[in-house]
Chains A and B, each alone.
Chain A
């Protein structure tokens, strides 16, 4: 069975700091990769996704992620975080039409 590991449970950053959240998955075949974000009191929403092609994927709000197949990784990055990026971030993976398998989430707190 597939599994997804998110390395950090809680990350605290100052505004303007750079962000990198780690995500590794276990499946060795062709995968679809996703990052979702859940702002306080809001729905889970898609931040970005990778299916094929350029391994560097750009998403909304200045986020990007890089798929490194050899490392089974799909890390999320943002060069300069803002207070409004405070949220919980979930990495997810599936293959074909299978349900998404989610990581346990990383809570990001951005302080002024």
Chain B
């Protein structure tokens, strides 16, 4: 079974803090994604990566950055957390060999005070 794990289920941070959200997948997938999920807005793509050290902006990259130093790990960074970044963050991975079906992690619910 594909497994996508995220470092924290719940996180509480203060405005201005630097926040790291980690995601690890164990199926050698090429593609990794970060979304945020908000009620009534569905899933919105923040950043994605098709390969190590490669990153592409999604629909809402402002205020975020990412890092992919190893194939299995994709980190989302909030450089200076703000209250409007309070949300559920979902990581996903997929393989071109599996027709791009995305597998999701459990999510990190981040609250910024």
Q: List the interface of chain A (C-beta within 8 A of B).
A: 9, 32, 34, 36, 42-46, 49, 51, 90, 94, 96-97, 99-105
- Tell whether A97 pairs with B96 under 8 Å between CB atoms, given A43-B107, A45-B104, A102-B42: yes
- Counting from the closest, the 3 A-B pairs by CB-CB distance are A104-B42, A44-B104, A102-B43
How many A-B residue pairs have C-beta atoms within 8 angstroms? Tell me.
48
A50 to B40, CA, bound (A): 25
Contacts of B103 in A (CB 8 A): 46
Closest to A4 in B: B42
Chain B contacts to A: CB under 8 angstroms: 31, 33, 35, 40-45, 48, 50, 58, 90, 92, 96, 99-107
Q: Are A46 and B101 in contact (CB under 8 A)?
A: yes
CB distance from A68 to the nearest CB of B (A): 21
Q: By the criterion CB–CB under 8 Å, are A100 and B102 in contact?
A: yes
Q: Is the CB of B99 within 8 A of A104?
A: no
Q: Which of B35, B100, B107 contacts A94 (CB 8 A)?
A: B100
Q: Contact between B58 and A105 (Cβ–Cβ < 8 Å)?
A: no
Contact status B42-A103, CB under 8 Å: yes
CB of B43 within 8 A of CB of A51, answer: no
**B43, A90: Cβ atoms under 8 Å?**
yes
Task: Quote the shortest CB–CB distance from B42 to chain A (angstroms).
Answer: 4
